[in-house]
Amino acid sequence: MIILKEEDREIIETSIRNIPDFPKKGIIFKDITTLLNNPKAFKTLINHLEERYKEYKLDYIAGIDARGFIFGAILADRLNIGFVPVRKKGKLPYTTVAEKYSLEYGFDEVEVHIDAFPKENARVLLIDDLIATGGTAKAATSLIKKVGANCVEACFILELDFLNGRNGIDSDVYSVIHID
Protein backbone atom coordinates (compact mmCIF):
# COMPACT_ATOMS: atom_id res chain seq x y z
CA MET A 1 0.00 0.00 0.00
CA ILE A 2 1.45 3.33 -1.09
CA ILE A 3 1.49 6.10 1.50
CA LEU A 4 2.63 9.69 1.06
CA LYS A 5 6.30 10.48 1.62
CA GLU A 6 6.89 13.05 4.36
CA GLU A 7 8.54 15.56 2.02
CA ASP A 8 5.59 15.26 -0.41
CA ARG A 9 3.10 15.69 2.44
CA GLU A 10 4.84 18.90 3.41
CA ILE A 11 4.72 20.23 -0.18
CA ILE A 12 0.97 19.54 -0.39
CA GLU A 13 0.04 20.62 3.13
CA THR A 14 1.91 23.94 2.99
CA SER A 15 0.18 24.79 -0.30
CA ILE A 16 -3.26 24.80 1.37
CA ARG A 17 -4.34 28.19 2.72
CA ASN A 18 -6.09 28.55 6.08
CA ILE A 19 -8.92 31.09 6.21
CA PRO A 20 -9.89 31.85 9.84
CA ASP A 21 -13.53 32.49 10.75
CA PHE A 22 -14.97 31.29 7.43
CA PRO A 23 -17.80 30.56 6.81
CA LYS A 24 -18.46 31.50 10.45
CA LYS A 25 -16.49 32.50 13.52
CA GLY A 26 -14.36 29.75 15.04
CA ILE A 27 -13.96 27.72 11.84
CA ILE A 28 -10.65 27.53 9.99
CA PHE A 29 -11.52 26.92 6.34
CA LYS A 30 -9.04 24.84 4.33
CA ASP A 31 -8.79 26.59 0.95
CA ILE A 32 -7.52 24.21 -1.74
CA THR A 33 -7.46 26.87 -4.48
CA THR A 34 -3.87 27.57 -3.47
CA LEU A 35 -3.06 23.87 -3.95
CA LEU A 36 -4.70 23.90 -7.37
CA ASN A 37 -2.74 26.94 -8.57
CA ASN A 38 0.59 25.62 -7.27
CA PRO A 39 1.94 23.40 -10.07
CA LYS A 40 4.53 21.62 -7.90
CA ALA A 41 2.06 20.80 -5.11
CA PHE A 42 -0.73 19.78 -7.48
CA LYS A 43 1.55 17.53 -9.53
CA THR A 44 2.96 16.00 -6.32
CA LEU A 45 -0.58 15.18 -5.19
CA ILE A 46 -1.76 13.73 -8.51
CA ASN A 47 1.47 11.70 -8.92
CA HIS A 48 0.94 10.26 -5.44
CA LEU A 49 -2.68 9.32 -6.16
CA GLU A 50 -1.72 7.74 -9.48
CA GLU A 51 1.03 5.70 -7.81
CA ARG A 52 -1.32 4.59 -5.02
CA TYR A 53 -4.21 3.53 -7.25
CA LYS A 54 -2.51 2.14 -10.37
CA GLU A 55 -2.54 -1.42 -8.96
CA TYR A 56 -6.12 -1.31 -7.60
CA LYS A 57 -7.62 -2.59 -10.88
CA LEU A 58 -10.24 0.16 -10.81
CA ASP A 59 -12.90 0.50 -13.48
CA TYR A 60 -14.14 4.01 -12.59
CA ILE A 61 -13.51 6.97 -10.38
CA ALA A 62 -16.56 8.70 -8.92
CA GLY A 63 -15.99 12.34 -7.96
CA ILE A 64 -18.25 14.21 -5.55
CA ASP A 65 -19.67 17.55 -6.75
CA ALA A 66 -17.75 19.78 -7.29
CA ARG A 67 -14.13 19.64 -6.15
CA GLY A 68 -14.05 15.85 -6.42
CA PHE A 69 -14.52 16.41 -10.16
CA ILE A 70 -11.14 18.13 -10.38
CA PHE A 71 -9.11 15.38 -8.74
CA GLY A 72 -11.24 12.52 -10.02
CA ALA A 73 -11.24 13.45 -13.70
CA ILE A 74 -7.49 13.99 -13.80
CA LEU A 75 -6.80 10.75 -11.93
CA ALA A 76 -9.21 8.81 -14.17
CA ASP A 77 -7.33 10.12 -17.21
CA ARG A 78 -3.98 9.12 -15.69
CA LEU A 79 -5.30 5.61 -14.92
CA ASN A 80 -7.08 5.32 -18.30
CA ILE A 81 -10.46 4.57 -16.73
CA GLY A 82 -13.89 6.21 -16.72
CA PHE A 83 -15.02 9.12 -14.58
CA VAL A 84 -18.50 9.38 -13.02
CA PRO A 85 -19.84 12.57 -11.43
CA VAL A 86 -21.79 12.31 -8.18
CA ARG A 87 -23.95 15.44 -8.44
CA LYS A 88 -26.20 17.47 -6.24
CA LYS A 89 -29.89 16.79 -6.83
CA GLY A 90 -31.34 18.07 -10.09
CA LYS A 91 -28.06 18.50 -11.99
CA LEU A 92 -28.00 15.29 -14.04
CA PRO A 93 -30.07 15.08 -17.25
CA TYR A 94 -30.87 11.35 -17.42
CA THR A 95 -32.64 8.92 -15.07
CA THR A 96 -30.95 9.03 -11.67
CA VAL A 97 -30.75 7.27 -8.33
CA ALA A 98 -30.64 9.59 -5.31
CA GLU A 99 -29.50 9.33 -1.71
CA LYS A 100 -30.40 11.77 1.05
CA TYR A 101 -28.04 12.73 3.83
CA SER A 102 -28.41 14.93 6.85
CA LEU A 103 -26.82 18.28 7.44
CA GLU A 104 -26.71 20.23 10.68
CA TYR A 105 -29.57 22.35 9.32
CA GLY A 106 -31.61 19.82 7.31
CA PHE A 107 -31.09 17.40 4.44
CA ASP A 108 -29.46 17.36 1.03
CA GLU A 109 -29.28 14.78 -1.77
CA VAL A 110 -26.74 13.49 -4.25
CA GLU A 111 -27.45 11.57 -7.44
CA VAL A 112 -25.82 9.43 -10.11
CA HIS A 113 -27.18 8.24 -13.41
CA ILE A 114 -28.83 4.86 -13.13
CA ASP A 115 -26.38 3.53 -15.75
CA ALA A 116 -23.31 5.35 -14.37
CA PHE A 117 -21.22 2.17 -14.10
CA PRO A 118 -21.99 0.04 -17.17
CA LYS A 119 -19.45 -2.65 -16.25
CA GLU A 120 -21.01 -5.31 -14.03
CA ASN A 121 -19.62 -5.28 -10.45
CA ALA A 122 -17.41 -2.32 -11.35
CA ARG A 123 -14.58 -1.43 -8.98
CA VAL A 124 -14.94 2.24 -8.08
CA LEU A 125 -12.80 4.76 -6.23
CA LEU A 126 -14.77 7.61 -4.65
CA ILE A 127 -12.86 10.90 -4.36
CA ASP A 128 -13.43 14.34 -2.88
CA ASP A 129 -11.31 17.17 -1.55
CA LEU A 130 -12.33 16.99 2.11
CA ILE A 131 -14.15 14.79 4.58
CA ALA A 132 -15.64 16.51 7.61
CA THR A 133 -18.76 14.87 9.09
CA GLY A 134 -18.92 12.33 6.23
CA GLY A 135 -22.57 12.74 5.25
CA THR A 136 -21.95 13.30 1.56
CA ALA A 137 -19.37 10.52 1.35
CA LYS A 138 -21.68 8.03 3.08
CA ALA A 139 -24.48 8.94 0.67
CA ALA A 140 -22.14 8.62 -2.32
CA THR A 141 -20.85 5.18 -1.31
CA SER A 142 -24.45 4.07 -0.82
CA LEU A 143 -25.34 5.33 -4.31
CA ILE A 144 -22.44 3.44 -5.87
CA LYS A 145 -23.71 0.25 -4.26
CA LYS A 146 -27.35 0.98 -5.25
CA VAL A 147 -26.44 1.05 -8.93
CA GLY A 148 -24.54 -2.25 -8.75
CA ALA A 149 -20.91 -1.18 -8.37
CA ASN A 150 -18.39 -1.69 -5.56
CA CYS A 151 -16.73 1.24 -3.84
CA VAL A 152 -13.33 -0.22 -3.04
CA GLU A 153 -12.05 2.92 -1.32
CA ALA A 154 -13.06 6.49 -0.56
CA CYS A 155 -10.19 8.96 -0.97
CA PHE A 156 -9.98 12.49 0.41
CA ILE A 157 -7.26 15.06 0.06
CA LEU A 158 -7.97 16.38 3.59
CA GLU A 159 -9.63 14.73 6.57
CA LEU A 160 -10.77 16.60 9.66
CA ASP A 161 -10.06 13.74 12.07
CA PHE A 162 -11.77 15.36 15.07
CA LEU A 163 -15.16 15.09 13.33
CA ASN A 164 -14.90 11.29 12.82
CA GLY A 165 -16.45 11.55 9.35
CA ARG A 166 -14.99 8.25 8.17
CA ASN A 167 -17.09 6.33 10.73
CA GLY A 168 -19.92 4.59 8.94
CA ILE A 169 -18.48 4.85 5.42
CA ASP A 170 -19.07 1.48 3.81
CA SER A 171 -15.60 1.12 2.25
CA ASP A 172 -11.96 1.58 3.10
CA VAL A 173 -10.99 5.23 3.56
CA TYR A 174 -7.71 6.90 2.62
CA SER A 175 -6.91 10.53 3.35
CA VAL A 176 -3.75 12.18 2.05
CA ILE A 177 -3.57 14.83 4.80
CA HIS A 178 -5.02 14.53 8.31
CA ILE A 179 -6.04 17.58 10.33
CA ASP A 180 -6.35 17.04 14.09
Using DSSP, state whether 18 is helix, strand or coil. Answer: strand
For residues 124 and 143, the answer to whether their CB atoms sit within 8 Å is: no
Q: In a structure prediction context, what are the per-residue pLDDT tens digits for the chain, which is 180 residues long?
A: 788 999 999 999 999 999 999 999 999 999 999 999 999 999 999 999 999 999 999 999 999 999 999 999 999 999 999 999 999 999 999 999 999 998 767 899 999 999 999 999 999 999 999 999 999 999 999 999 999 999 999 999 999 999 999 998 999 999 999 999
pTM of the model: 0.96
**Active-site hit among 6, 7, 55, 104:** 104
Point out which residues pair with 100 in neighbouring strands. 109
Tell me whether residue 67 is one of the annotated catalytic residues: yes
Tell me whether residue 51 is one of the annotated catalytic residues: no
- Rounded to whole angstroms, the Cα distance separating 28 from 87 reads 26
3-state secondary structure 102-170: EECCEEEEEEEECCCCCCCCCEEEEEEEEECCCHHHHHHHHHHHHCCCEEEEEEEEEEEHHHCCCCCCC
**Active-site hit among 9, 67, 78, 123:** 67
How is domain 56-179 classified at the architecture level of CATH? 3-Layer(aba) Sandwich (3.40)
